[in-house]
Amino acid sequence: MIICFLRESSYLNYLIELILILVFTIIFGKLFQRLGLPGVVGQLISGVFLGPSILNIVHTGSIISTFSDIGVIILMFIAGLESNLDLLKKYLNPSLLVAILGILAPILFMYIAGIMHRFSNVESLFIGIIFAATSVSISVEVLREMKELDSVEGITILGAAVADDVLSILALSFAVSFFGVSDDNNANIIITILLQIGFFILVYVLYKVITKWLNLFIKKFNLGITEIAMITCLALSYLAEETSLSTITGAFFAGIIFSRTDFKKDISNKFENIGYSLFIPVFFANVGLNMELSGIVNNLLVFVIFTVLAVITKFFGAMLGAKISKFNSISSMEIGAGMISRGEVGLIIAGIGLNAHLISEGYYSTIIASIVATTLIAPIILRKIILIKKR
């Protein structure tokens, strides 16, 4: 009876959905922690439980999607805030190598898998590009929970994720420009690169201005530091998306900027209170809401192959990059595990591919299910490896 009411009622339905998400993410998060698993996995599973796969009482509508987008932006801002810029600079080259090998391996092997299942060359290539992407937001939560975010491995994962974002978007732009049949104007790769260079120049200018003049600016105009940080975070997230990067890249760099100010601790406390009370749990649950059993049942073999390949190729590709960069075996495994999750980045690229007719509608839900599955698996592997390292 209650479920029927929730399905049929439109008045204030989004409030009921938000309440259910918050209640279930708390319950499942605590339950999974009791079982020795990352709490974030429980929050992801709560979305699967509430969504179309099981109860079908919460749907990823406009309000949920908006709150989810804000949640991942706040999460990545906090990650940037807690990062060590000096270590990011120091481990830039290893991060690039991890990103490059972590992209090439999925593209190559997913392409081969697509050809073997008689997909076209274009569709096989684009499936490879989808699974080449990394969404570090899920790994960030595990790294924070395990107090590994500011470790050498954590910094390398974050740096590699930013590089992965740029390279994946360039590969996406290339695929859509040359093979897409979208009604939108195809992105020009050269313009995309120039816009992204402009974005990073702007980040550098903001970094110099804010770190030098923030104290004086606040005293003179009597402004709140949290408001300034939020405006900067949202503005850079928006500009990053406008230059074909993801919002999380802009939010991460906004966090990096404010990590070099005297207000770092105060900003971190305020953003954690804002994010973890509402927006971040909605983001985690929303990833689970995208899982549909039809994507698994209708193409079970393809789902299993895509999921296994997605995990293995990203793990070993990134791990090899770390190993070549002189990390020891367990640290290389941690970095490889930290790059497995596809999360919202993979979902976005898959949606772009569907609109541009680069992947078929028949396999779209299967690809989405595989993306969600890798996102569920990644934090479990990462946590286990960190526990082994700490022993």
Flag the least confident range among 24-33, 66-75, 84-93: 84-93
Q: Return the closest-CA partner of residue 250 out of 239, 237, 259.
A: 237
Q: Which CATH class is domain 38-390?
A: mainly alpha
| 209 token code pair | 């201005």
CA distance to 73, 139, 152, per residue, from 334 (Å): 24, 10, 11
In angstroms, the CA 185 to CA 328 distance is 46
| 267 token code pair | 């900003």
Secondary-structure breakdown of the chain: helix, strand, coil percentages, each rounded to the nearest 5: 80, 0, 20
Cα 373–Cα 374–Cα 375 angle in degrees, nearest 5: 90
Whether 39 has a pLDDT exceeding 60, the answer reads yes
State pLDDT tens for residues 139-165: 999 999 899 998 999 999 999 998 988
Of the ranges 85-99, 305-319, 358-372, the best mean pLDDT one:
305-319
Residue position matching structure tokens 């999460």? 75
Integer distance in angstroms from the first to the last C-alpha of the chain?
50
Cβ-based neighbour number of residue 59 at 10 Å? 15
Whether 184 has a pLDDT exceeding 50, the answer reads no
CA distance to 236, 258, 297, per residue, from 200 (Å): 10, 16, 44
The H or E element spanning position 196 is helix 189-221
- Percent of the chain's residues with pLDDT above 90: 62
Contact 157, 136 (CB under 8 A): yes
CA distance to 7, 9, 19, 27, per residue, from 12 (Å): 12, 8, 11, 23
In angstroms, the CA 94 to CA 327 distance is 9
Instruction: Collapse the DSSP code of 90 into the 3-class scheme (helix H, G, I; strand E, B; otherwise coil) and give the result.
Output: helix
What angle, 0 to 180 degrees and rounded to 10, lies between the N-to-C axes of helices 247-259 and 189-221? 40
Residue 180's pLDDT band, with cuts at 50, 70 and 90, is low
Whether 186 has a pLDDT exceeding 80, the answer reads no
State pLDDT tens for residues 103-123: 999 999 999 999 998 899 989
Instruction: Collapse the DSSP code of 91 into the 3-class scheme (helix H, G, I; strand E, B; otherwise coil) and give the result.
Output: coil
- Percent of the chain's residues with pLDDT above 70: 94
pLDDT at 188: 66
Structural domain spans, the chain: 38-390
In angstroms, the CA 307 to CA 377 distance is 10
pLDDT at 174: 74
Contact 283, 303 (CB under 8 A): no
In angstroms, the CA 384 to CA 250 distance is 30
In angstroms, the CA 18 to CA 98 distance is 38
Of the ranges 179-188, 276-285, 336-345, the best mean pLDDT one:
276-285
Residue 172 burial (C-beta neighbours within 10 Å; 0-12, 13-18, 19+): buried
Contact 189, 124 (CB under 8 A): no
Q: Answer with the residue of higher pLDDT: 60 or 386.
A: 386
In angstroms, the CA 330 to CA 332 distance is 5
The H or E element spanning position 275 is none
Q: Return the closest-CA partner of residue 140 out of 74, 52, 230.
A: 74
Cα 310–Cα 314–Cα 317 angle in degrees, nearest 5: 140
Give me the torsion for CA of 371, 375, 376, 382, rounded to 10°. Answer: 140
In angstroms, the CA 208 to CA 85 distance is 14
Whether 199 has a pLDDT exceeding 50, the answer reads yes
